[in-house]
Every structure is written in C-alpha cells, then in structure tokens.
Amino acid sequence: MKKVFSANSLIEAQIVLDLLEHAYISGKLFNQHAQGVVGEIPFTHAYPEVWVIRDEDYERGRTIVQSYEKTSPELGTVICPTCGEVNPRNFQLCWHCETGLETALNQNNSNGQH
C-alpha cells in the first residue's frame, strides 16, 4: 500500500478516493477520524490521506491525483446524464450516482454553455 494524496479536508479526500475507484483503483482512506486529536499531535499528522491498496496502481493513482490538483474551480453547473442531478461544473463525477460527467461537460461546451 502507498499513499497518493494528503487532503485538506475529509470531503476532498473522499472526492479523490471516488476518482480512483472510478478508474478501478482500490484505495483506502486514513485519518478520517483524526480531527479530534489535533492539538495533541501535529495538525499535519491528522490530514485525511488516500492510499492505493496495490503498489502497482500507484503511478496511475498519482496521475489521477495530479490531474485533480491541476483542475481549477469553475463556476456553473452541469446536469448528470444518468440521474439528472445538478453538479458543480468542476466535478468529474456526479455527487449522487458517481457517473462520469465528461460527456455532459463536452455537450455543454459544444453548445456554447459555460
């Protein structure tokens, strides 16, 4: 097992874990309950961490994390083509059903919507 990401929040760690799982990379979330011990240990030791279970998935996992880290926040929304839920435009996966939003984003861009 290898660590691929240290998150600023539990929500961010879960997003990265979902991105990995969407790419069929098994991962594990650590320190999800560590916020309660901040002050007793250095706060950097309490950050939520995402680890890949299989070492051979590490490089692919890092590529996914690097892509996530380069994604700039965008304003606007996108509708999930599977369940119809409204998602923030910078989401890669639907928050409700975890469907990839690439197709919906591409359709919005080709229609001139932003």
Looking up residue 27, the CATH number of its domain turns out to be 3.30.70
Same domain, 11 and 59: yes
Same-domain pairing of 11 and 65: yes
Q: Which residue has the higher pLDDT, 114 or 50?
A: 50
Q: Based on the structure, what is the number of domains in the chain?
A: 2
pTM over 0.75: no
Residues 37, 18: one domain?
yes
Residues 82 and 66 in one domain: no
| Average pLDDT of the residues in 45-57 | 90
Assigned token pair, 6: 């240290």
Condensed to tens digits (0 to 9), the pLDDT of residues 58-110 reads: 999 999 999 988 876 667 888 998 999 998 887 888 888 988 887 766 655 54
SS3 content of the chain, % helix, strand, coil (to 5): 40, 20, 40
Q: Which among 80, 84, 85, 89 has a CA at the least distance from the CA of 113?
A: 89
Q: Are 60 and 85 in contact (CB under 8 A)?
A: no
Tell me what pLDDT residue 114 has. Answer: 43
Distance between CA 85 and CA 102 in Å, rounded?
A: 14
Task: Give me the domain span that covers residue 58.
Answer: 2-70
What proportion of the chain, given as a percentage, has pLDDT over 70?
Answer: 75
